[in-house]
Chains A and B, each alone.
Chain A
Amino acid sequence: MDRSLIDQGIIDSFGLVEITGFIEQEFRVKIREEDMTREAFGSMNKMARFVSARVEMGT
């Protein structure tokens, strides 16, 4: 869960687009340009932490 989905060959660049779109739609959080980083989307756990923080903030 801490490994990069890209490094594991699970997703490509369109996969990243799909994931960010899915998160915006499913969790109703707005992903800003400055959010688009390896720190936020580098692994499943990082994405979960990002979404959790945003949901708590209500944005």
Chain B
Amino acid sequence: MSSSRCACCILSSSFPSITFDDQGVCSYCRDQTAGLSIDTAIERARAQVKELFEHRHQPYDAIVCNSGGKDSSYTLMLAVQKYGLRILSFTLDNGFLAPAAFDNIRKVTDALGVEQLTYRPSLPFFRRVIRATATKPIYREKTLMRISAGCNACISLVNTMAVRIALEKEIPIILAGFTLGQIPTNAIIFRNHFRFLAESREESLARLTEAVGHEVENYYDIPGRVLDRVASYPHSVNLLCLETLREEEIVAKVEAIGWRKPTGVDGCSSNCELNTFNNYVHERRLGFSPYEWELSLLVRKGLMSRAEALSKIEDNPVERLSRLADGLGLTGEERVGLGLGVASSRA
């Protein structure tokens, strides 16, 4: 990255709408007191969670979207040990999870006595989706401020599948391991009204369908006949946002029940090898890391030092990109377009 960065957080000069003052402090750091304060949002969410968790359900109180990473593993711990919820753990196997992530899912769910459900979409389909996000403008700039296009496509799939399962099994709560910075402050807890929120996804889904084909609707949509019968949509809750823990403390907590940090992943992921590719594409296209927003918020809250945040986004093993491009089945033209050169060896 050749751009300069904020003197306080790690946002770079390429970040949308950013300006800097004479001291090199960015407009986002200066304006952090504007709007709903984070502490107020957290307190409000805590009260809502307390009320929501008072009612228990059979056979499950909540479904946890469990990627096998440290954050969703800790979310699972919190759900079971702190809140005493009956949980169904759900994993979307996108074909690029590190082998150690599956070991972690087994160890953590076994240690907590939780049922595990793993869903694997068609790999050729998922590859086409990621290739489309890498080579075409599928999502808007607003969305890409806090997440890469590839990760957004994957997480949207996770969310759709989680809502489907929740509706099918009448599970009233979906828990995810997002931290503040990955989501807006008043999205710690919200009604996951699929039909209402679908309008905002229509345009990007149309672009994805144009690039990938109508199979997209099978994965990213819920049939109208199913939604017509919905009496109440599940709540989505991000429990990690209610905790004030540094990353190393979260790692220590999950390691105590068998979780181990995988190898083969970059500094910003603890489960998915594809993250490195998605980060590369994002930085190449937009000039900033998709983790700058999230990590900058942790820096401002004092939960991570600026040096730690910088070392995380700089831990991006580009030497793995060619193998990932092979795994995604990128054409020679797509590889050249992404600055990846010609194929080394096709998988």
B36 adjacent to A16 (CB under 8 Å): no
A6 within 8 A of B: yes
- Please report which residues of chain B, range 162-207, place their CB below 8 angstroms from some CB of chain A when the two chains form the complex: 183-184, 186-187, 190-191, 193, 195-197, 199-201, 203
Q: Which residues from A are CB-within-8-Å of B191?
A: 33, 36
Residue B219 CB within 8 A of the other chain: no
Category for how many chain B residues contact A? 20 to 34
Contact between B232 and A16, CB atoms less than 8 A apart:
no
Q: Give the complex CA separation of A16 and B186 in angstroms.
A: 11
Assuming the A-B contacts A21-B186, A21-B187, A33-B233, are A15 and B142 also in contact, with contact meaning beta carbons closer than 8 angstroms in the complex? yes
Q: Contact check, A25 vs B190: say whether CB atoms are below 8 A apart.
A: no
Separation of A41 and B196 alpha carbons in the complex (Å): 9
Q: Which residues in A have their C-beta under 8 angstroms from that of B199?
A: 6, 16, 38
Q: How far is the CA of A28 from the CA of B54 in the complex (A)?
A: 23
* 8 Å CB contact of B190 from A6, A10, A11, A17: A17
**Cβ contacts A to B, 24 pairs, < 8 Å:** A6-B199, A9-B140, A9-B141, A9-B142, A10-B142, A11-B142, A12-B201, A13-B197, A13-B201, A14-B183, A14-B184, A16-B197, A18-B184, A20-B190, A21-B187, A25-B36, A25-B44, A33-B232, A33-B233, A36-B191, A36-B195, A36-B196, A37-B196, A38-B199
